[in-house]
Structure 1
Amino acid sequence: MARVLVVGAGIAGDTLALLLGRAGWEVTVVEIAPDLRTGGQTVDLRGDSRDVLERLGLLDEVLGRLVPQRGAAWIDRTGRPLATMPVEAFDGNGYVSKEELLREDLARALHDAAGPTVTHRFGETVEELTDTPDGVLAHFRGAPPEEFDLVVGADGAHSRVRRLRFGPEASFRRPLGLAHAWFTLTETPATPGLDGWFLTHNAPGRRSVEARPGHPGTQEVGLTFAAVELPPRHDRAARFALLDEVFADAGWRTAEFLAAARVAPDFALDTFDQIQVPRWYDGRVVLLGDSAWCASPLSGLGTALALRGAAELADALGSAAVSEHPDRLSDALAAFERSMRPRTRAAQRLFPGRVRQAAPVTERGIRVNAWIIRQLQSRPVRKAVGRVAARHGQDPSADGPGPAAAGRAAAR
């Protein structure tokens, strides 16, 4: 039985573990967090996401965990609507789709489906990877070293595996000029309700404040602003101080959100970056998901790429019968990269203006953005935008927001 080490228990890592476990591999998954990560944005079930989950036999389960949503609305600092896009827009494939669930619910479904040949170790990660004649010797933070036939780095945009094997993060990181904080707010009797709407308030100066439905009694909050670098991850005080400074006069419910961020157990803050690695594998070590190709949350394709990438890697390993013929590993990894490169390149080609649309600079830009969103939903404009989206590698029928993505990106 071939042994594989998967570093990272996220969507990509646990999907691969599930598939390889079913194929007879002995799978060890290490995750630096003490437990399965909670929080994260809502993810949709379009295109590749739906196809892979159906293949895994998990589609009905995740469809039972959908978050009820009515659509998206863009509001001013007082909460007055500037534009709306109901969930029915673009036949349910608009900014908010008709089938979305919280990332943590999808992660839990994948994790719980793991079979007896998959072992998870939380609070653990790799510190060193050493090639041997027949595999890779993984040196762990807390456990004794072990040898594996294959090591998969599925540990995100800040991948430790990538740093150990391929080089420093700076060599592969392409900042997009924005940062984003996200966390879960627990409602109280005084919390304003959302009534099923994903609300976005854009403030001048490239700032965005968002709230969308979560589990019953919760709201998922996002704060987006201009930044390329952030205070160190361990310096929470400096990070909260930065948010206080940037959003001091943003209006709407921002003060409430800033206070809630300090007590949220799943608070996270990171920059919007893309990761571009010239080659995803080296010997018996391969990168998967955001570790290899992060397209940034602005693409709307992170989950779909993670699921599809895991499926393509599992298929390549199975097609080459690597578990019986280790000498075929290199060919399998090359086939995996050939199959996924076109998808990731297309995802990283963000529609022109997408970054500026996410956080407009001026009040005029905010108003123009709202006007475009309203116009987008007319039939003639929808057709024209669909044609433009297709020219930029955005398939309106596939995983991404399709024509809606083009429209969201059109504002300046």
Structure 2
Amino acid sequence: MKTVLISGAGIAGPTLAYWLKRAGYAPTLVERAPALRQGGYVIDFWGLGYDIAERMGLLPAIGRAGYHVREMRIVDDEGRRVAGFGTRVFDELTGGRFITLARSDLSRLLYDAIGGSVEVVFDDEIVALEERPDHVAVRLLRGGERRFDLVIGADGLHSAVRRLAFGPQQAFERNLGYGVAAFEIHGYDRRDENMYLMYTRPGRMIGRFALHGDRTLLVFIFADDARRWPTTLADQKATLREIYCDARWEWPNLREALERCDDLYFDRISQIKMDRWSRGRIALIGDAAFCVSLAAGQGSALAMISAYVLAGELARAGGSYQDAFSAYETRLRSYIDAKQRGAERFAAAFAPRTSYGLWFRNQVVRAFSLPGGARLAVGRELADRVDLPDYRWDEQ
């Protein structure tokens, strides 16, 4: 039985572990965090990722955890609606197979799907890799030396496996010119159920979304003009206060909530572009290989697709990891390239840098409510132009 070390217990990692187990492999998950991550942001989930979740039997649980958003609404300084559209059109474009849910909830459901059948090591990380003729020698920060037949990096935008096996992040990262922050608050007195609200000024956006359990998600997207990037929680909060210092709408209340926050997601909106996703016995999936960026809205689904295809190609190749890695990349490369190009076009729509850009974005949003408008604007982006193979899974 071949052993596979998977770095990362977010979306791609547990999905890969599930399907590798089905294929007769012995996967081990290692996650640097002490537990599954909470908070973050919500994702729109559809297409082939949705199909894979169905094959894993997760749709009922996803339906209970998720949200059926009725409207995306853009508001002005006083909270008045200036543009927006009903989201029923997305149900129409996807045949009803569309839902919004917290990324952390999807991660938890995927983790639960492996149900204790896979070794999981939390609060540890890979610090060294050495490929040898018949295995990869791995050194863990706390777990010492171990050996595996294969190592897969599913550890996101800031992948340690990519850094150790392929080189520094700056060699592959393309900054799209924006930053993002997100946090949750409890008991916020303004809730608009199943509605996503956006407040925008040139180069800045605040999004608000009501979550289950009297929680509210706040998302901030802002132009990143090569400022000194903050790394501590205190500096990140100070950066947001500076960027939004003259914002109106609900910012005064949200600023107070920010001060009480102790779990803030804060990062650049970037893409990862690599000439190849594998080297020897080591391969990358999901954001570690090809982060399309948060702006694309499909990172979680693409992570699941890449995990499913890699596991399936390993199952199909009968032990030849070289053939499996090559087939995995051949099947997905052009598809991922197209998704990355779409994300580049879409990134500025969240927080256009000029007043004219805001006006034009709002006109496009208003066109969504016209017959055929949404299909013309986003129908191509919603389409998954790649076939999802039916691999043969040898149940163990």
Q: What TM-score, normalized to structure 1? A: 0.88
1:35 is paired with a residue whose SS is coil
Closer, same or farther in 2 for the Cα pair 1:14/1:382, shift >3 Å? Answer: closer
Q: Which amino acid aligns with 1:372?
A: V
Q: Which amino acid aligns with 1:340?
A: L
- Counting only pairs closer than 5 Å after superposition, residues 194-273 of structure 1 correspond to structure 2 as 194-204=192-202, 206-227=203-224, 229=226, 234-273=231-270
Tell me how many residue pairs correspond in the alignment. Answer: 384
Q: Confirm or deny: 8 A CA contact 2:72 2:195 kept in the other structure.
A: yes
Q: Which amino acid aligns with 1:176?
A: L
Closer, same or farther in 2 for the Cα pair 1:121/1:317, shift >3 Å? Answer: same
- Counting only pairs closer than 5 Å after superposition, residues 12-51 of structure 1 correspond to structure 2 as 12-51=12-51
CA deviation map 1:89-146 (0-9, x unaligned):
344559x985221111111111011145411111110000012221001100001210
Closer, same or farther in 2 for the Cα pair 1:154/1:90, shift >3 Å? Answer: closer
Q: Distance in 1 between matches of 2:75 and 2:118?
A: 46
Residue in 2 aligned with 1:359? 351
Residue in 2 aligned with 1:153? 153
Q: Distance in 2 between matches of 1:90 and 1:126?
A: 41
- Selected match of 2:365 from 360, 366, 373: 373
CA deviation map 1:153-196 (0-9, x unaligned):
000011111000100100000010000001112124xx212232
Q: What TM-score, normalized to structure 2? A: 0.91
Structure 1 unaligned spans of 5+: 323-327, 400-412
CA deviation map 1:374-401 (0-9, x unaligned):
1232125456546xx64xxx3x4449xx
Q: Distance in 1 between matches of 2:122 and 2:108?
A: 14
CA deviation map 1:29-48 (0-9, x unaligned):
11111100111222233111
Q: Distance in 2 between matches of 1:44 and 1:384?
A: 19
Structure 2 unaligned spans of 5+: 386-396
Q: Confirm or deny: 8 A CA contact 1:130 1:136 kept in the other structure.
A: yes
Residue in 2 aligned with 1:346? 338
Closer, same or farther in 2 for the Cα pair 1:372/1:112, shift >3 Å? Answer: same
Q: Distance in 2 between matches of 1:137 and 1:263?
A: 44
Q: Distance in 1 between matches of 2:4 and 2:180?
A: 34
Closer, same or farther in 2 for the Cα pair 1:321/1:27, shift >3 Å? Answer: same
Q: Distance in 2 between matches of 1:80 and 1:56?
A: 43
Closer, same or farther in 2 for the Cα pair 1:140/1:217, shift >3 Å? Answer: same
Q: Distance in 2 between matches of 1:383 and 1:182?
A: 29
Closer, same or farther in 2 for the Cα pair 1:288/1:379, shift >3 Å? Answer: same
CA deviation map 1:304-346 (0-9, x unaligned):
1011101000100000122xxxxx1111111111111122101
Larger RCO (CA within 8 A; separation ≥ 6): 2
Q: Confirm or deny: 8 A CA contact 2:293 2:343 kept in the other structure.
A: no
The RMSD of aligned alpha carbons is 2.2
Closer, same or farther in 2 for the Cα pair 1:76/1:341, shift >3 Å? Answer: same
Matched, 1:75 2:75: yes
Deviation at 1:230, TM superposition (A): 6.2
1:145 is paired with a residue whose SS is strand
Residue in 1 aligned with 2:170? 170
Q: Distance in 1 between matches of 2:122 and 2:243?
A: 35
Q: Distance in 2 between matches of 1:354 and 1:44?
A: 15
- Counting only pairs closer than 5 Å after superposition, residues 77-92 of structure 1 correspond to structure 2 as 77-92=77-92
